[in-house]
Each structure stands twice: as structure tokens, then as C-alpha cells.
Chains A and B, each alone.
Chain A
Amino acid sequence: MTQPKLDLSPKVSDEVRKTTCYMCACRCGINVHMKDGKVAYIEGNRDHPVNQGVLCAKGSAGIMQHNAPSRLRAPLKRVGPRGSGEFEEISWDEAYDIAASWLAPIREDNPSKLAFFTGRDQSQSFTSMWAQGFGTPNYAAHGGFCSVNMAAAGIYTMGGAFWEFGQPDWDRTKMFMIFGVAEDHDSNPIKIGLGKLKARGAKVIGVNPIRSGYNAVADEWVGINPGTDGLFILSLVHELIKSGHVDLQYLSLFTNAPALVNEDQNSEDYGLLLRDTDDKLMVMDRRTGQPAPFDRKGVVPDLAGTWHDNGTTHRSVFQLMAEQYLDPQYAPENVAEKTGIAADRIRRIAAELADVAFNQAIELDLTWTDFRGETHDKMIGRPVSFHAMRGISAHSNGFQTCRALHLLQIILGSVEVPGGFRFKPPYPKPPEAHPRPHAKPKPGAPLNGPHLGFVHGPDDLALDENGTPARIDKAFSWENPMSVHGLMHMVISNAHAGDPYKIDTLFMYMANMSWNSSMNTGGVMEMLTDTDENGDYVIPHIIYSDAYSSEMVAYADLILPDTTYLERHDCISLLDRPICEADAAADAIRWPVVEPDRDVKGFQSALCDLGAKLGLPGFVNEDGSQKYADYADYIIKHERRPGVGPLMGFRGNGDETGRGAPNMNQIDRYIENGGFAMAHIAEEHQFYKPWNMGYQDWAVKLGIYDAPQPYVFNLWSEPMRRFQLAAEGIGTRQPPEHLRQRIKDTMVPLPIWYSPNEAENRADDYPITALTQRPMAMYHSWGTQNAWLRQIHGRNPLYVSRKVWEENGFSDGDWAKVTSPHGEIVVPVALQAALNDNTVWTWNAIGKRKGAWALDEDAPEATKGFLLNHLIHELLPPKGDGLRWSNSDPITGQAAWFDLRVRVEKAPAPADAQSQPSLPPIKSPVGSGPKALAWKVGK
């Protein structure tokens, strides 16, 4: 028999266009294969630092996102009541006229009347500049409801955190522990890294109540009780300190462990660190027995130092650490019950960490000079590494838990060393190198400085002259002083309540606030549609920008339609969240590999137009004409500081990196280079970066900062102690009485663990913790409109443990009523054996509102799919004091999604066999999608 003759070398495509993915937030490089001017196939870019050629399911399905029937087609003006989804298409000119008719008067009167919040925005350095020009203090992106605890704890403690801030040294680490991860964060790099560890048999420990994804391949799974990670970590710290397995040399040279704490209870500096007259941190010098500035050449900082001065005793931070963590409350046998981890297992994991860090240390023969001027002829590596994300941060004890994890990394000496955890430029960067928050509006004028930043004590809070919060989300107030990313989840609730004040216009981008991005989804829909005694909406105007027909579209008055990610310009900028690796700075662009076939515009380009129409500083020339034609024009021409702009590559005449004059051909050069630019760090400068003067000088040359910024890690957090000191009655700026005790209890300068809000006193009525996870093949609500991805994750049962399954006598196909202090839902259940006994969970944001995302109304996402959000209130249950207590971490305002406690009971299947609550459909502004697909372009 003869075989058919095949063409084994068919033409693959007419052209490959290289840009940056946006199917999730990871910013991988992609090769877009074009045929006949259309997108034919998408694969990973092998040269790209983030994904090195590989690509996840989302990225490969980009073609279905780009062609999704849910794409908005033109600006929309609401013609029916809010929430109905009834719109008419209008021109961009009319859209801008409407927006300006709302925004221009409030800017002249009181810019705070605008609340401008962007969601999963990768252009925050640009959108914040727009908001600053407008003059409103009310700006932030989605960090507050995402993982701000991780970012804030990392920067306050060690000048950087996980994911875009840093990464394990995948090529050298010998043991890796991963805590509570959202699998869409740093998705491909973590998988690439795990693959490397697996290939050489390095041990992976997964700490997570749920054994899926990375925890499924982990060599050891620790199915911890949710919200107790901090206690487990501090028990490991207890074991390590008790046995002397701490890197004393590292702690003395590179952290504030030898700094001297004022122990005089009557001093205004009680609990603060001893400083000289130049405000420089002091340590005891073991050579002289005298205090000395921490950074003096030759100083040997004494971890055991004590200094008596005029009756005041100062003791080293390390002595206080030893006292705190040697306490039996952290002994394994005393945390076993709360954490659900046997004492011997905690002891064994501590012993393994110690063994790998100290007995299997590695050395690199690289010479480097530290900030004290000392030259070292080798680099010592402690090859244990860690990663964590939302699972530990989305609790009301998350900030302290994240701090505890960094404490563990640091006492092992495993940060910024070979085999450990490494920062990625522009990090490391100490908290002092970040701006402080600014929130002083003035009619008709720009804001007095950047909105978001790092507070160092009560003086930096964003309060008005009466002491009330200056921001609509109450960020940087006594309720959550270190809310470095704002509190997007409180904006609508506070605006509706008029607490601290009422607003006029709510302007949002890429945030599905009437659905999966809000707590209390049903309540938020009511707030958005609520009217006052005159019949006017309580929130008078809502402008929203999205590329797709999301649930939030129906709740806006004016829609500015965005493009898909393949139709737009973007910069993945060093001013923002770049794509750097531990051994290189890198940034990237998106560019229109295809032009839109609809009357849509990149949101940032629309802001250039609208900013000019409103005459905002930064958006108009001196003669009042429009400064930036579009976002691409801004990317090329804008200078944040002289010579430093949104993109670092190909500046000046095209040969300059980091600093240089704007280059009108810059974007073309990026396109020629595969969509990104890279600047490598010399080998001897790739580790010890916070202290390595070679790195510091390189960072200055590149424009990351203007002068070297060496610093030591803050195991003892002075900013936290300053708030605690205020709560103890010291200082002129005092917290309100109702918050005093909470600040004392939570803003403790060394990491602690406390029980999360909702777990307190509720164990009897609500014994189960309910969580969500994000599937690797979906990104929030976006994946559902994707014909390929929704076939992978189109349903989301409530997964229950065997214990819950058996207690309720569940069998396949059953339904459960799930009740929280706030509400109830009725949903399908499924058994998962590899799950913590007292935990239930479901996939995040699979459930959809009927009529949204161009799906048919009988789509399983809209019938069986559900959200846990209905069970989570943005406020804690009333305490009888008339106050609105936010369901957030009291330190940072991080939304405490994972504090949710529920009761699970078997329930009859709903009569309509649909998950409850079942909401009425909204009218789709784009119709629904085609029945069948067979997507082939070209011949």
C-alpha cells in the first residue's frame, strides 16, 4: 500500500509580529503569525526573558480573545435605566463631550468629586499622571483587592517582594517552598522554574489547603488550615533560632537586627531605633564596644549589643527577636492544632530548611564590594527559596504573615544570594526611595504629588485638617495606614454611603465591579442603581472603559470602548511593572499587530484626548493644544525625569539605554528587536544587590534612581512602631479612640500572627473556610468569552473535602446551601479528597451574569456557575457602634477575601436547576456569538 504524499514543509505564515501577551498579567513575549493580514497562530517568543518561548493555555488561545464576539464596537451612551444594558452607539466626539460636561465642572469646583480607579491596568504610571493632573486624590489600581499585602510587606521589610519584584534562583536552589499561590501570577516563569527543579530532583514543598496545580506536583503537600500560615512560619522561625540555625553574619551586616531599640517606656522614642544626629542608624561596634553608624567602614555590628545612655537602655533588635520567637507560644506542639500540621512535621521541615541552607551552602568565586567599602572574594549561597502570593496575602492578618515569611527568608540568609531569592530591577528599592502619599486637592489645579506611596509614620497619613480621611477609599487613614495600593473594593460602598464624602463621577477601567471584582456583588449592583429622594442616582455619573461586554458595562452611563491587546500600543515600563529578570533589566511594548476593525480606541489614547480637552497639566502644550496625539506618542516623548522615559531601550540616537533623549524611532526599534529591550547586569553585580556597590552604580547609570540607595533589611519596622506609638498616646497626630487598641495589637514592629477577622468567635456557626482559586487556563472573568478556554473551565462546582462530603451524605450531582454571616448561595458540589478537611473552594469568576460576555443565556457559566462574592461583605458585621468596619487587613486595607467562613448543608436541587441567586439577564450591547467556529485564515 502506498502512503499519501504529504507536504512536510508547508508555509507557516506570511509574517511574524512580536508583541507582548495580555491574556493575563504575566507579560510574556509572543510571536503572532499573520496570514493574509489576519492573526493565524500565536506562540511564545524564545528570546523573551519572561517566557523563553513557552506559552500557557491562555496565551495560545489569544486568537479567540482577539476575535471574541464580546468585543465592544463603538462608544456607548446609556438609554435605559442603569443595569438594564440598554445603550446606543455614539461617536467619540459625543463621548468626549459628555465626559467633559461632567468632569470639567467638578475639576473647577472640587476635584475630589472624581473617583478614578483602574483595574488590571499595566499603565499605572500613565493613568496616575492623568489623575494627578486632574487633581483628584481618588486614584488607585486594583492592588488593594488583589495582593497588596505581599507587595507592601515585601517592600517595607526588604525592599521588594515576589513575582515582578523578584524570583527564586531557579538554576541553583535546592529546596523550594511555595505558599498559597494564585497560579496566574508569574505563571510561565514559575512553571519553567518548577520544571528545572523537577529535572534535577530538588525538593518542592507546597503549603496550601488545596492540592491542585503546583501543589499536585510538590514532593510534599502541607494542607494547612487557611489563615494560619503565619503561625506555621513563626514556628519554623522558633525552631531555627532555638537551634542556632540563623545566618548571624548576614543578619549583622545586611539587616537592622543589630540596630538598637530604645527600651525606655517613658521616652517619646520608645521602641524606635537609635540614630545619630544625621538620622543615621546606630549599631554597637564589636571592635570598640561603642555605638557607631551602621554603614561605617570596618564596623562589626553586634547582634548582641546593648547600649546604656543617660539612663536609657537600648538593646539590639536581634535580642528582642530571640525573646519574641523563643516564646513557647510558637513551639511546634503549641501551633499544631491551629495550623493543622503535626508538631513533628514542623520540626522536620525546619530541620530540612536548616540542612539545605547551612550544610548544603554554595559558594561562587565572585569578588564584590559592599556599601561599607569592604571587598568580599566570594558569594555564599543559602539554596532555599520561597514564593507566595494571594493565598497568604488575602487575609486580614496577611501583612504580618507576609512579613513573617520574609523574616524566615532573611534569618536563613537566603535573600539576594546564590540559590536563594533574587530581586529583579528596578528592585531592590527601600521604602524610603518610594514617594509618600499625596492627597491635597485644590480647585482647578493638579494634585500636590503622586497619590500612592509609602507612609513612615502618622505624619504621612492622608487626612484632612479635621483628621478625616482625604480619600474616598480611606487609604492612608488610621483604618489602614499602610494602604500603599489604595482600597478599590471600598470605593463604590463608600461613595454610596457618602463616607467620608459624596462624589459626582465614578470613572473606572478594566474592573468588573458589578460582578466578580467586588465583594457583596448584589449589594454593589444596588448601590450603583440606587436613587436619592429626587430620583437621581446616588452616584450621579459613571464612566467605564473596557474592551469587552463585561457585567460592569451595564452599570455605566458612558462606555469608552478599548481595543484588544493585539490592536494597541502599551509600554511594560520600568516606571511601572516591567519584565526584568534577576540578572537583567528589561522592558517591552505592545503594538498594533492588526488595526481595529471597530470604532474603538486604546483607553490610554482616549485619556490623551480627554486630558487635552480638559486642559490637564501634562496633557496640553503651552498654547493649550493637545500634547500627545495618542499613547504611542506619549511613550516616545514623555520624560519622567530628564532623559528617563517610559521605555529604557534605544534612547537618544538609538544606542543609549536607560538614560537618553527621546528617540522618535524608539517604538520601531523595539519592534525590530522582538518587542522588548534588555540590559544585563555584570555577573559580580547580580547578587547582594541592596549592598553591592557595583549593582548600585549600574542602577544609577541605567536611570533606576539618581544616587546609590544601599540599605539594610527592616526586620524591625520603625514605621509600624511609629503608628503603635501614636496609639499608645505619643505624638500630636492621634488615632480615633475606636481604633487605638487595634493599632496597638496589629502594628507590632516584629512579625506576629493573629487570628483573621472572620474566624474570631464564629467557629461554631461557620466552621468552614471558603476559598477561590484561579485556574491556570483562565484569567479572572476574561477567559469565559474565549471559545477554547471555556471548554476547559466552563463549570465551577463547590469542591468539598471528604469530611464535609461524608458529614452531609453528599453524592454526585447534589447541591448545597452555603451560608455565611452575610448571605447564602445554593450551588452544585463535588468531592475533592486532596483538600484540607475544613475547607471548601471553587474556581474564581467562572460564574457569569446572563447576557454578559456575548454568551447565550443558557451557558453553563450563567446557569450553574456561581460566585462566592455574594457571601463576602465589604464590611464586617455591625458591631453596634454605628461604624462601618471594612473587611480588610487593618494595616494595609488588603481585601480579606479568604477570611470567608461558611456553613455547608445539603439542599434540594433548585427548581430551575440553576445556582442561586439567579439574577435576571442584562441586555447585551453586542448580541451573542456565532453557533459554530472553524477558524482558519489564509489558504
Chain B
Amino acid sequence: MTTLPQSTERKLGLVIDLDTCVGCHACVVSCKGWNTENYGAPLSDQDAYGGNPSGTFLNRVHSYEIQPEQGLAQTIHFPKSCLHCEDAPCVTVCPTGASYKRVEDGIVLVNESDCIGCGLCAWACPYGARELDQKEGVMKKCTLCVDRIYNNNLPEEDRVPACVRTCPAGARHFGDLGDPDSDVSRLVAERDGMDLMPEQGTKPVNKYLPPRPKDEEAIDVLAPFLEPVAEEPKGFLGWLDKTLEKL
């Protein structure tokens, strides 16, 4: 058993806008590229060119359909990675102390040199956010790009997770969700940001902004259906002539 810190100095995490995510997988691949080359063991791929390719990813996008009781079916793209929970069950279940939550920023990490690949943490995570790397035999998960966000070798504007830097639609936001005045906290407040599966009691730090209502017959009452200028084509030409005079 591993203990969680009583509290963390900051709560760094992601805010993911489901109203804007087009499901392009840019974040998925950028994450794979950065984290293959950086923190810990590379993210390996098995049967890479074969019948059952399967590799380690720290972030995946799932697509779902929703059929409202009334109206048209909708498609939702749902990116999912570790939510860096305040009450992270993946940490408390770890038998070696390899999984831990950082006191200074709340990032949940795996210390690969202590990880025995037992997989208990993946079982404990209700979100399915951890993947065991088949080649290395260690547990991999989102690091919130801990090797980018403080990295003095990167320009300051690039000190954000790779997925945030690359997101073409700007649907991913990074910041301190423990600070109510941060941009991300304000966004969560404005857009009714929500926890994923709050009933699990994990208190996830990452938040999701729900899709705005769609397909509403939400025409501005000030712009009702257009009125014809005339009922007959001849009448239209009369209107045209009058209107041109006024120009």
C-alpha cells in the first residue's frame, strides 16, 4: 500500500472541451511521440505491421453516439487519459510505492524503476487510464508531460503538455485547478465543467466541458422567417427599382 499526500501545493490538470473536440487524434499521436522519446521507457508497439497491432498509448480518443429522446443522433468525441485524481486508487493500491502523487503539483506518476508490472493499479483505476507496456513490463500513464512543463530547455510557451500544444481546435487546456482564479478554473466555472464518474469518489483533477446543446430550433426571435417583398415577380422588380433609387 502506498499513501497519498494529505494535500498538494497545486492541482495541475487538463480541461477538455467536448463541445470543440473534433476527434482528430492529434493529441493521441503527439503524446505517443513525446513520451516514446522522453520520460521512462519508450511506448512500444507489438505486431506493429501485422494482424493484431497493439501498442501503449497514454491518451486515447473514443467516439460515442447519443440518441436523444427527441431529435437527431449526435456524435461525441471523448479523449481520455489519467485524470490525476486527488483520491487516486491507483496509488493506494500500489504494493511497491512505484505509483505516487507529487506533493508539489498533484501529478500522478509511476517510478518505473520500482514498478514490478503487477497491474494492480490498472485494475484499481475506474477510468482505464493506465496501460502496461508489453515490452518493458512497466506500467505507463499520462505524466502531464512533467518533463516539459518545467523544462528550462523549452521556450516558456512550450512548457505545456504535448497534447495541449498540438491540439488544432484548442480543445485542451492546462493549468492549476486548485487556483480558483486560474484560466482553467474560470473556464470550468463558465462552462459548467464536470468530473468524470464522480460517484467513484476519486475526485479527478481533470475536468470535461460538456457539449453545448445542439440542433435546437434556436432562431433569434428578432429574425423570424423572411417576408417576401412582393408576391408576384413583377412586384419584385418594382421593389428592386424603388430600393435601387434609395442606394
Contact = CB atoms under 8 A, between A and B. Distances in A.
Interface of A: 1, 3-4, 6-12, 33, 35, 40-44, 46, 51, 53-61, 63, 69, 183, 187-188, 191-192, 194-196, 198-199, 201, 211-221, 223, 239-245, 248-249, 252, 286, 302-304, 318-319, 322-323, 326, 344, 347-348, 350-352, 354-355, 359, 776-777, 785, 787-792, 794, 802, 832-835, 854-856, 858-860, 863, 928-938
A806 to B, nearest CB: 13
B50 A934 contact: no
A863 B24 CA distance: 25
Most buried by A among B21, B37, B67, B150: B37
Contacts of A58: 29
B19 A8 contact: no
B120 interface: no
Most buried by A among B2, B22, B151, B243: B22
A213 B77 CA distance: 8
Nearest to B217: A348
Most buried by A among B20, B38, B136, B216: B20
A683 B228 CA distance: 38
27 contacts: A3-B103, A9-B151, A10-B153, A12-B153, A41-B37, A43-B30, A44-B165, A57-B25, A60-B29, A187-B24, A192-B169, A194-B20, A194-B22, A198-B169, A212-B63, A213-B22, A216-B74, A220-B215, A304-B237, A319-B237, A326-B236, A351-B225, A777-B25, A788-B32, A855-B50, A932-B44, A936-B37
Most buried by A among B28, B34, B166, B214: B166
A4 B29 contact: no
A188 B168 contact: yes
B6 interface: no
B189 interface: no
A856 B49 contact: yes
A244 B171 contact: no
Contact of B65 (A9, A57, A220, A833): A833
- Interface size bucket, B side? 35 or more
A359 B225 CA distance: 14
Given A56-B168, A223-B72, A935-B36, A776 B247 contact: no
Contact of A286 (B32, B49, B233, B244): B244
A309 to B, nearest CB: 21
A221 B72 contact: yes
Contacts of A348: 217, 219, 225
A192 B147 CA distance: 26
Contact of A240 (B150, B167, B216, B226): B226
A334 to B, nearest CB: 15
Most buried by A among B42, B220, B223: B223
Given A219-B215, A302-B244, 9 more contacts: A4-B100, A11-B153, A42-B33, A191-B22, A191-B24, A211-B74, A217-B21, A303-B244, A304-B241
Contact of B55 (A359, A788, A858, A863): A788
Contacts of A303: 240, 244
Nearest to A928: B49
B54 interface: yes
B3 interface: yes
Given A57-B28, A198-B19, A219-B214, A933 B37 contact: no
A55 B166 contact: yes
A834 B103 contact: no
B119 to A, nearest CB: 19
Contacts of A215: 75
A239 B102 contact: no
A930 B25 contact: no
A355 B2 CA distance: 61
Given A243-B227, A787-B48, A56 B73 contact: no
B37 A937 contact: yes
Contacts of A33: 37
B54 to A, nearest CB: 7
Contacts of A347: 225-226
A6 B227 CA distance: 69
Nearest to A201: B212
A208 B30 CA distance: 29
